[in-house]
Homo-oligomer: A and B are copies of this chain.
Amino acid sequence: MNKKKVSLKDIAEKAQVSTALVSYVLNGKEKESRVGHEIAVKIKQIAKELNYQPNYLAKSLRSGKTQTIGLIIADISNPFFANIARIVEDEAKKNGYTVIIGSSDETAEKSWDLITVFLNRQVDGFIIVSSENSEEQIHYLIERNVPFVLLDRHFPEIPTDFVSLNSFKAAYDAGSHLIRGGYKNIGLIAYQSQLFHMQERIRGYRFSLEDHRIPFRPEWLKEVGFNTIEEEIKVGIDDMLASEYAVDALIFATYRLAITGLKYINSLGLKVPEDLAIVSFGQAEAFDLYYCPITYVLQPMHELGKTAVEILIQKLKKPDSEKKQILMEAKLMARDSSRPKAPVR
Residues of A within 8 A of B (CB): 1-3, 53-58, 60-61, 68, 75-79, 82-83, 85-86, 89-90, 93, 98-103, 105, 110, 113-114, 116-122, 143-145, 259, 262-263, 266, 284-286, 288-291
A83 to chain B, nearest CB (A): 5
Select which of B1, B61, B75 is within 8 A of A58 by beta carbon. B61
Chain B residues within an 8 Å CB radius of A288: 263, 286
Select which of B54, B79, B116 is within 8 A of A82 by beta carbon. B79
Chain B residues within an 8 Å CB radius of A98: 102, 113-114, 117
Chain B residues within an 8 Å CB radius of A116: 53
Bound-state CA distance A41–B70 (Å) is: 33
Q: Say whether A99 contacts B99, CB under 8 Å.
A: no
Chain B residues within an 8 Å CB radius of A93: 110
Chain B residues within an 8 Å CB radius of A119: 53
CB nearest to A121 among chain B residues: B121
Bound-state CA distance A103–B88 (Å) is: 11
User: Can you name 9 extra interface pairs (CB under 8 A) apart from A93-B110, A263-B289?
Assistant: A56-B120, A56-B121, A57-B122, A75-B86, A76-B85, A76-B89, A77-B79, A77-B82, A101-B103
Q: Say whether B120 contacts A57, CB under 8 Å.
A: yes
A105 to chain B, nearest CB (A): 7
Which of A1, A53, A120, A145 counts the most chain B CB atoms within 10 A?
A120
Chain B residues within an 8 Å CB radius of A102: 89, 98-101
A93 to chain B, nearest CB (A): 8
Q: Say whether B101 contacts A143, CB under 8 Å.
A: no
Q: Say whether A144 contacts B3, CB under 8 Å.
A: yes
Q: Say whether B77 contacts A105, CB under 8 Å.
A: no
Chain B residues within an 8 Å CB radius of A100: 100-102, 117-118, 121
Chain B residues within an 8 Å CB radius of A60: 57
Bound-state CA distance A228–B115 (Å) is: 38
Q: Say whether B57 contacts A145, CB under 8 Å.
A: no
Select which of B55, B120, B143 is within 8 A of A2 by beta carbon. B143
Q: With A2-B143, A98-B114, A101-B100 given, is the CB distance from A76 to B68 under 8 Å?
A: no
Bound-state CA distance A23–B290 (Å) is: 59
A295 to chain B, nearest CB (A): 15
